Structure 1
Amino acid sequence: MIYRSLLILCVITASSLNADEVSFTATDGGATIHLDGKQFATFVHTESPVGRPYISNLFTTDHIKVTRNHPTTKDDPDDHPHHQGIFFTWGQLNGLDYWHMRGRTVHDRFLKNPTNGKIAYFSTRSYYLADDNKSRIAREDATYTFRKTPFGILVTLQATVTGESAAATFGSKEEGGLAVRMSKDLTVDAGASMTDDEGRNGGGEIWGKDSKWVDYAGEKQDRWVGVTLFTNPASFRKCWWHARDYGLLAANPLGPLNDPKQSVVLKKGESFTVHYGVMIHSNSDQAEYSPAKAYKYYLSQMPK
Structure 2
Amino acid sequence: MKPSVFTVIVLLLSVNLAGASERPKVEFKTSVNERKLEVFIDGKFFTALIYPDDMEKPALYPILTASGKIITRGFPLDPRPFERADHPHHVGLWFNFGDVNGLDFWNNSFAVKPENESKYGSIRFKEILAENPQKGQLVTSSAWVDQEENILLNEETTFIFSGKENLRTIERISKLTAAMQVVFTENKEGLLGLRVDRAFEEPATKAANFLDANGTLTETPLLNNDGVNGVYRNAEGVQGDKVWGKRSPWVALRAEKEGEPITIVLLDHPGNENYPAWSHARGYGLFAMNNLAGRSVDRRAEPVKVVLKPGEWITFKHKVVIGGELTDAEIDKIADDFK
Partner of 2:148: 132
Matched, 1:280 2:287: no
Task: Classify 1:83/1:291 alpha carbon distance in 2 versus 1 (closer, same or farther; 3 Å).
Answer: farther
Partner of 1:214: 251
1:90-169 maps to which residues of 2 (within 5 A)? 90-101=97-108, 102-112=120-130, 114-117=131-134, 119-133=135-149, 135-149=150-164, 152-165=167-180, 167-169=181-183
Mapped to 1, the partners of 2:307 and 2:338 lie a distance apart of 31
Whether the 8 Å contact between 2:143 and 2:152 is mirrored in structure 1 is yes
Report the alpha carbon displacement of residue 111 of structure 1 after superposing the two structures with TM.
Answer: 2.2
Report the alpha carbon displacement of residue 160 of structure 1 after superposing the two structures with TM.
Answer: 1.1
Q: Deviations over 1:84-110 (max 9, x none)?
A: 111000111111111112312111222
Partner of 1:3: none
Q: Deviations over 1:215-244 (max 9, x none)?
A: 111111211113100111021321111110
Matched, 1:37 2:43: yes
Task: Classify 1:148/1:91 alpha carbon distance in 2 versus 1 (closer, same or farther; 3 Å).
Answer: same
Q: Deviations over 1:57-89 (max 9, x none)?
A: 111111111111251315121111111111000
Partner of 2:286: 248
Partner of 1:183: 197
Alpha-carbon RMSD: 2.1
Residue 297 of structure 1: SS of its match in structure 2? helix
Report the alpha carbon displacement of residue 156 of structure 1 after superposing the two structures with TM.
Answer: 0.3
Whether the 8 Å contact between 1:151 and 1:279 is mirrored in structure 2 is no
Mapped to 2, the partners of 1:19 and 1:120 lie a distance apart of 10
Q: Deviations over 1:259-284 (max 9, x none)?
A: 793121111111111110000112xx
Q: Deviations over 1:97-132 (max 9, x none)?
A: 1111231211122222x3323x31111111111231
Mapped to 2, the partners of 1:150 and 1:257 lie a distance apart of 41
**Matching residue's letter, 2:323:** H
Report the alpha carbon displacement of residue 294 of structure 1 after superposing the two structures with TM.
Answer: 3.0
- The two structures have a TM-score, normalised by structure 1, of 0.84
**Structure 2: 5+ residue stretches without partners:** 1-20, 109-119, 204-227
Whether the 8 Å contact between 1:18 and 1:36 is mirrored in structure 2 is no
**Structure 1: 5+ residue stretches without partners:** 1-16
Partner of 2:306: 264
Mapped to 2, the partners of 1:48 and 1:199 lie a distance apart of 42
Report the alpha carbon displacement of residue 22 of structure 1 after superposing the two structures with TM.
Answer: 1.5
Of stretches 142-151 and 219-228 in structure 1, the one that deviates more from structure 2 is: 142-151
Report the alpha carbon displacement of residue 55 of structure 1 after superposing the two structures with TM.
Answer: 0.3
Mapped to 2, the partners of 1:59 and 1:132 lie a distance apart of 36
Whether the 8 Å contact between 2:67 and 2:166 is mirrored in structure 1 is no
Give percent identity, aligned residues only: 25
Mapped to 2, the partners of 1:291 and 1:65 lie a distance apart of 23
* Structure 1 runs (4+) greater than 3 angstroms displaced: none
Partner of 1:60: 65
- The two structures have a TM-score, normalised by structure 2, of 0.76
Matched, 1:192 2:207: no
Matched positions, count: 275
Whether the 8 Å contact between 1:49 and 1:104 is mirrored in structure 2 is no
Task: Classify 1:257/1:202 alpha carbon distance in 2 versus 1 (closer, same or farther; 3 Å).
Answer: farther
